[in-house]
Structure 1
């Protein structure tokens, strides 16, 4: 009886070993997990110099007269100016910009020359459109022609708002409104205060 029990136990043990051994032979080696490196795209460098050329429609007038670039009125002179700009983009959102403007056409009463220095906060709406503000100071010089009594030379606060559109790589179209002078001291055809505003359209090239 004992021999039978021992034989049965031996057969069971051998069967278990055979099954376990079969599993070990059929098992596959597990490869260790490998962490893939994460590639982080660095933001594009938007800093750099830029320059531009523009045409400005300018209203120079007695400070008591409202601006109207579309029709003539007493106390206002409409001028056509060429405006040059140069600036530096510190990043996508901030730039420093300088401008120089001078008259190339006028109504035979006054000529204008001026310069401006602006801090330029800007905000992109998408890959092409952006809006911006101009905050700074500058000088406006108005001189009468043909015997007109106009003599203004004033430096003070200037501001503006505008937008730009990227038409191709490094080349943008822009338009803006700027208040170049408000209640400037001087003589403007009988008035002691003068205002000057401009609407400008031009192109900018980024280097």
Structure 2
């Protein structure tokens, strides 16, 4: 009788356990969302700028001033370094006589320049502060005795700001030349040339 009672209690307990198991929620498969692919910008960029180039004789204070149109192209290795090339076309050039007895007048030729630069950059959000270090040349054309040209180390600095994705505005200064003489002109005088540029850059 005792064995029968124990067996009955065991069956009842198992039945309650099985019934309780019916309250367990069914296993559902979690939905895994695939990450959205982020389209990266190309490292190549181009730009266009306007500015002012100046070549000055520090002894006589004579000065050539040209408005400039600058073409820019570069490759951004990463956010800290780029390689960049530029060519600036001069136009509407004026001549200032300084302390000479020459006549001040418009100049028929132009002051143009080119350069290839290493461009180290320090980013601060959408603002980039950068330096330009490289080699290039400057030319005064259509002089009485022919064109005058010099090439040398060039350096500069500037900043850019991204106004929308892949489109930035920039402003910078480059020292184009700083030495004695300019080709066959003013061989014993200290000559310097520089350019200021304001422009836009588009990254592909």
Change (3 A) 1:56 1:180: same
Consecutive unaligned residues of structure 1, counting only runs of 5 or more, are 1-6, 66-72
| Contact 1:120-1:134 at 8 Å conserved across structures | yes
Aligned pairs, number: 190
Q: Give the structure 2 partner of residue 164 of structure 1.
A: 160
Residue of structure 2 aligned with 1:19, choices 13, 17, 21: 13
TM norm structure 2:
0.71
Following superposition, the deviation at residue 95 of structure 1 comes to 2.7
Change (3 A) 1:122 1:47: farther
| Contact 1:47-1:90 at 8 Å conserved across structures | no
Consecutive unaligned residues of structure 2, counting only runs of 5 or more, are 97-106
| Contact 1:46-1:90 at 8 Å conserved across structures | no
Q: Decide which structure has the larger Cα Rg and report it.
A: 1
| Contact 1:141-1:154 at 8 Å conserved across structures | yes
Q: Give the structure 1 partner of residue 103 of structure 2.
A: none
| Contact 1:47-1:92 at 8 Å conserved across structures | no
Residue of structure 2 aligned with 1:50, choices 35, 45, 51: 45
Following superposition, the deviation at residue 154 of structure 1 comes to 1.8
Q: RMSD between aligned alpha carbons?
A: 3.5
Q: Does 1:177 align with 2:173?
A: yes
Change (3 A) 1:172 1:140: same
CA distance in 2, matches of 1:59, 1:152: 14
CA distance in 1, matches of 2:94, 2:178: 21
Q: Does 1:105 align with 2:99?
A: no
| Contact 1:52-1:86 at 8 Å conserved across structures | yes
Instruction: Describe the SS at the equivalent of 2:162.
Output: strand
Instruction: Describe the SS at the equivalent of 1:86.
Output: strand
User: Per-residue displacement from partner, 1:125-165 (whole Å, max 9, x unpaired)?
Assistant: 22x332322221101123585x6x99752212112222222
Q: Give the structure 1 partner of residue 101 of structure 2.
A: none
